[in-house]
Amino acid sequence: MATLFEKVNIGGLELKNRMVMTPMGFMFDIDNGISERQRNYLVERAKGGFGLVYPATHFIEDRFEKCQANALWTASHADRLSLAVEQVHQYGAKFALQLSLGLGRVSIINQFTAPKSASEVPSFWYPNLICQPFTKEEIHWMVEQFGYSASLAKCAGVDVLEIHAYGGYLIDQFISSNWNKRTDEYGGSLENRLRIVFELRDAVRATCGDDFPVAVKFTPDHSFEGGRTMEEGIEIAKMLDDAGFAYLHLDRGAYECWYNAVTTTYQERGCQLYIAEALREAGIRSPFMIQGKMDDADLAEKVVAEGTADLIGLGHPSLADPHWPKKVKAGLTDDIIPCIGCNECLYNACMSRFKTCAINPATGFEKDYELKPAAEAQKILVIGGGPGGMTAAITAAKRGFEAELWEKSAELGGTLKAAGAPLFKYDTKRYMDYLIKQVHKHGVTVRLRKEATEEEILRAKPDVVILAAGSKAILPRIPGCEKGNVVEATTLLSQGIETGEKVVVLGGGLVGCETALMLEAQGKDVTIVEMLDQLLLTAVHAPNNDQALKDMIAASKIKVMTSSELTAVEKGKVCVNCDDGGKEIDCDTLVLSVGFRSDHSLAEALEGKVNKVFTIGDNVQPGKIIHAVHQGFHTIRLLEDL
């Protein structure tokens, strides 16, 4: 029976275990080569125990579109790649490289210039722009260039090369009938549409030899209307099965349903596993690498033991905790920082910001953010047991400070209690449980049901006070609130308050939408009332998370009233003004979710009375987990300099 941490031979390549850090975009040099920072980031994951490590996808040319990723077409690119390979190898990991022909219809040049693709189809981002099809001569040139880049990879010491043929990117646009309308030998039949994949494989063999392992990543199920179905995906897998590929790297989705490809907090564990199961049932024998929220060690072990997959890919979980494999192998699962599916890593990329992790501030800063032992003994008093407060307390304890944490409620968690309450937010609940365990493991003194007042804080005589008490919900003044059953959303979520059967949620932001979905899953009749003309306009999160949440609401029975104002509460109903006049809605419980406001009064009261006072997270202004965690971490890391 196969196990997760045994040595395994895949396509002639021996790996020390079956754990793979999958390719994700990351900071590159000005010429798109691997940067020193990216190299440090890769090496940390090799150090953390992964058997196979991928850098970001590498482009093979910039003749047809601006390179929006790493690049490999010059000796200089190869030099820096070889250094990364060398240092990854020093930790016993092997190095895989994914080569891409580009983004095609999903690339962004500008709103006036159409990208090139397999055929004349609309650009994804600007549908009025019709893509220019590649000529056969241009295809042949790209295939030849692909082989050359593969030879550079081999010379740099890369152990396995992967063809980037998935997710609606350029090669997949050739494979897919919904994007490939060609009438030459690269279009029409499935055999013709797959021609480019086999030509790329042959180009690698011609420059690297028949014994150089070549894998292919493809998408058997696009999971959107008009995209590839599993039936065709199985046919493709059959054609790839005996074609000499070291393994098939399986994926799901495309930009039309981006959350299936880059999973979010809203997907279930093992959400892409059904694809591997279907291919095995169809008789596909090739080794599989699977991904898609596989960071449950028991699930990963089961999948390997049953032969459903041979390699387990962890992308975002390796950002949250680069030492995932080592910790699992040592039985230290309570010490694993669990990915929460927030996709702040992707959001930062979309906003042209540095890519890091919301809950691991050291991601991307592996050589920058060392926690040094405290220079002198100091008592750190943290007010508030949410993500920022717990992070600050843990970090203080790690540095050797005397850390004490006060929480006014009966348990730690803060906003994470509400954020992790819906069953579909189990990732956030896991993270809250992790932080609580780490607080106790690191010897932080915890005082629950402890209200922080100016007098109590001064009596404790701390050297440093960290104010992380969060923010307060805004409670709108609505006529008749005293006549109805009214509850604030985060209170409902964190305390598990029961509602009536007919619920109106006032506010269609992130909290309101998640609350509505949770109540609908409980069988409640739910209506969202939102003043703006769309839901989630106030949410500041990754596009795939936004897409996932909107699709969940669309698939639910929740009634949505946008451009609507709730004007009054009466017994058993609420009154709403909307575009087509006033309406009365039956309502047993009104849930308020209209935003938050910070309270700075305690910080002002302590000013000049304690040596150092810092305010972090929602106590500064309502924000996100990434703000609270990073501020808590860096405030303690840099304490002596602040």
Summarised one tens digit per residue, pLDDT across range 261-270 is 999 999 999 9
Give the residue-averaged pLDDT of 124-144. Answer: 97
pLDDT of residue 351: 87
pLDDT of residue 564: 96
Is 431 among the catalytic positions? no
Q: Residue 631 pLDDT > 90, yes or no?
A: yes
Scored b (16 or more CB within 10 A) or e, 364-397 reads: bebeeeeeeebeeebbbbbbbbbbbbbbbbbbbb
pLDDT of residue 27: 87
Give the residue-averaged pLDDT of 403-422. Answer: 97
Give per-residue pLDDT as tens, 163-196. Answer: 999 999 999 999 999 999 999 999 999 999 999 9
Intervals of CATH 3.20.20.70 along the chain: 8-350
In 3D, which of 161, 155, 147, 157 has the Cα closest to residue 84? 157
Give the residue-averaged pLDDT of 123-144. Answer: 97
User: Which residue is catalytic, options 41, 169, 247, 434?
Assistant: 169
Give per-residue pLDDT as tens, 314-351. Answer: 999 999 999 999 999 999 999 999 999 999 999 998 88
| Count of helices and strands (H, E) across the chain | 22, 29
CATH code reported for the domain at 379-472+597-641: 3.40.50.720
Q: What is the pTM of this model?
A: 0.96
Sign of CA dihedral 30, 31, 32, 33: negative
Q: Residue 1 pLDDT > 90, yes or no?
A: no
pLDDT of residue 411: 97
Tell me the pLDDT of the chain averaged across its residues. Answer: 96
Q: What is the DSSP string of 410-470?
A: SSS-THHHHHT-SGGGHHHHHHHHHHHHHHHHTT-EEEES----HHHHHHH--SEEEE---
Intervals of CATH 3.50.50.60 along the chain: 481-594
Intervals of CATH 3.40.50.720 along the chain: 379-472+597-641
In 3-state terms, what secondary structure has residue 232? helix
Q: What does the angle CA 375 – CA 377 – CA 383 come to, to the nearest 5 degrees?
A: 115
Give the HSE-up count for residue 479: Cα atoms under 13 Å, Cβ half-sphere: 5
* Choice among 90-99, 203-212, 390-399, 476-485 with the minimum mean pLDDT: 476-485
Give the residue-averaged pLDDT of 151-164. Answer: 98
Give Cβ neighbours of residue 161 (< 8 Å, ≥ 6 apart): 96, 97, 98, 99, 150, 153, 154, 204, 208, 212, 213, 214, 215
Give per-residue pLDDT as tens, 525-538. Answer: 999 999 999 999 99
CATH code reported for the domain at 8-350: 3.20.20.70
% of the chain exceeding 70 in pLDDT? 100
Superfamily of chain region 481-594:
FAD/NAD(P)-binding domain (3.50.50.60)
Give the residue-averaged pLDDT of 431-457. Answer: 97
Q: Residue 483 pLDDT > 80, yes or no?
A: no
